[in-house]
């Protein structure tokens, strides 16, 4: 009986180790990142695809040339952006405050977004999850003529193709959203190689 218990424990430990390794797989072409809105004090609101880092406002100011995305929430009489991903080059004003605010930066990278959810047959969630880094679809789904400088009112499973200032193409899917100035958005993305 002791042998059976030891065998069971060994099997459980071994299977747990293998499952844990899958979660830590750095070879996956997909990255998941959580970016906070302007008043979120727990997580930064700026992201660089090059460095794969989330920055707070002060660090983003120091790393202006690397910043591709920023997250903010805006609900005013003039603007209903809700939870939005944008970039420093999208002319965002009066959202971030102080000397480090993007409106004071000298390097304003612009990322353009094209919404893929308009026609669900363009890219399904399953097709997104099956993409590889060399898949031509990552670049061909980007529509430069209809692209915008903001991905507004983000909702779970929204998908956008995008192009960064340096010409990098990618696609992201929204995993989670918490609305509000202290909220955040979590995305899973893949870049074209």
Q: Are 77 and 60 in contact (CB under 8 A)?
A: no
- Residue 18: its pLDDT value, please? 33
- Residue 120: its pLDDT value, please? 61
Mean per-residue pLDDT pooled into runs of 10, the chain (193 residues): 40 35 64 98 98 98 98 86 95 94 97 84 87 96 96 96 98 97 98 97
Q: Are 171 and 115 in contact (CB under 8 A)?
A: no
Q: Is the pTM of this model over 0.95?
A: no
Write out the E strands in 17-168: 30-36, 46-48, 53-55, 69-75, 80-86, 112-115, 159-163
Residue 66 has which token pair? 């690397």
- Residue 47: its pLDDT value, please? 98
What's the CA gap between 49 and 116, in Å, rounded? 20
How many alpha carbons fall within 13 Å on the CB side of residue 33?
23
CB neighbours of residue 190 within 10 Å: 21
């Amino acid at each position: 009986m002791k042998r059976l218990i030891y065998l069971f424990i060994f099997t459980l430990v071994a299977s747990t180790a293998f499952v844990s390794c899958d979660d830590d797989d750095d070879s996956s072409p997909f990255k998941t990142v959580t970016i906070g809105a302007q008043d979120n004090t727990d997580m930064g609101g700026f992201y660089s695809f090059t460095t794969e880092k989330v920055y707070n406002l002060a660090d983003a100011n120091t790393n202006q040339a690397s910043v591709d995305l920023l997250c903010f929430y805006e609900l005013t009489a003039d603007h209903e952006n809700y939870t939005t991903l944008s970039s420093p080059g999208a002319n965002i004003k009066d959202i971030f405050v102080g000397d480090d605010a993007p409106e004071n930066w000298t390097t304003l990278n612009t990322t353009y977004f094209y919404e893929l959810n308009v026609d669900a047959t363009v890219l399904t969630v399953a097709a997104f999850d099956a993409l590889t880094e060399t898949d031509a679809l990552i670049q061909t789904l980007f529509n430069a003529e209809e692209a915008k400088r903001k991905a507004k009112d983000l909702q779970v499973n929204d998908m956008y193709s995008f192009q960064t200032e340096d010409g990098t193409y990618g696609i992201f899917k929204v995993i989670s959203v918490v609305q509000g100035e202290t909220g955040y958005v979590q995305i899973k993305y893949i870049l074209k190689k």
